[in-house]
Chain A
Amino acid sequence: AQSVSQHNHHVILSEAASLELGCNYSYGGTVNLFWYVQYPGQHLQLLLKYFSGDPLVKGIKGFEAEFIKSKFSFNLRKPSVQWSDTAEYFCAVNALGGKLIFGQGTELSVKP
């Protein structure tokens, strides 16, 4: 069965620090990978996605992620975080029929 694992439950950073959130997936076939952000009390918003091609994908708000097939990983990065990046971040993989399998989420707190 497909599964997604996020390494960090809660990350606390100061503004301007660099961010890397880990995500590993388990799936034997071709995968499409996603990172979503959820601001407090709001719905999920797509940050970026990987379907094929260049394994380094750039998303909105300065986020990027790198797909490393050999490691089954899709880590999210941002060189310099802002207070407004405080949110919960979910890694996801899509399964047959289009449903998404989510990781447990990483809560990011950025201190001003």
Chain B
Amino acid sequence: AAGVIQSPRHLIKEKRETATLKCYPIPRHDTVYWYQQGPGQDPQFLISFYEKMQSDKGSIPDRFSAQQFSDYHSELNMSSLELGDSALYFCASSPRLQGPEGGYTFGSGTRLTVV
């Protein structure tokens, strides 16, 4: 069965650079959720999109932005990277804001290292 696809799997950037992470949801899922998990930390909700519109916002820094495209994939753009942005970023998808009730599946994540 198709799963949530994230790219790239690993990314190394220098401070003050920018990074773009991509998330491709499961087919027919129109809602995407982004999470950040720092080293030894629990996952923290960043932002979600439903039908290409932002549906909820969590602890996402102003330096980050995200969007969802017409094919429902989503991109997380991170600018002016800081060492503290080093983390595992993963996304999940579901149909129609149903979240876990709708078959929530996590992607494998993108491990971002800022040096």
Closest chain A residue, CB of each to CB of B56: A97
Q: Flag B38-74 by CB within 8 Å of A: 1 or 0 each.
A: 0001111100101000011010000000000000000
A105 to B42, CA, bound (A): 6
Tell me whether A102 and B99 are in contact (CB under 8 A).
Answer: no
Residues B48 and A98 in contact, CB atoms below 8 Å apart? yes
User: Which of B48, B94, B102, B106 is the one whose CB lies under 8 Å from A44?
Assistant: B106
Shortest A86–chain B CB gap in Å is: 16
Closest to A101 in B: B45
Please give the number of chain A residues whose Cβ is less than 8 angstroms from any Cβ of chain B in the complex.
21
Q: Is B55 touching A97 in the complex (CB atoms < 8 A)?
A: yes
Checking B33, B43, B44, B90 against A98 with a beta-carbon cut-off of 8 angstroms, the contacting residue is B33
Q: Across the interface, which residues of B come within 8 angstroms of A69, CB to CB?
A: none
Q: Is the CB of B42 within 8 A of A98?
A: no
Shortest Cβ distance from B74 into chain A, in angstroms? 14
Q: Which of A45, A49, A97, A102 contacts B43 (CB 8 A)?
A: A102
On whether A97 and B48 interact (CB within 8 A), knowing A43-B90, A43-B106, A102-B42, the answer reads: yes
The verdict on B31 contacting chain A, using a C-beta distance below 8 Å, is yes
| A90 CB-CB contact with B under 8 Å | yes
**Contact call A97/B97, Cβ cutoff below 8 A:** yes
CB interface residues, A 78-112, toward B, < 8 Å: 90, 94, 96-105
* CB-nearest residue of chain A to B90: A43
Chain A, Cβ-Cβ closest to B4: A43
The 8 A CB mask of B95-115 against A (1 = contact, 0 = none) is: 001111110101111000000
* Contact A90:B109 (CB < 8 A) given known A44-B90, A98-B94: no
User: Which positions in A face B, CB cutoff 8 Å?
Assistant: 32, 34, 42-46, 49, 51, 90, 94, 96-105
Given contacts A46-B104, A100-B99, 5 further A-B contacts (CB under 8 A): A43-B90, A96-B56, A98-B101, A100-B43, A103-B42
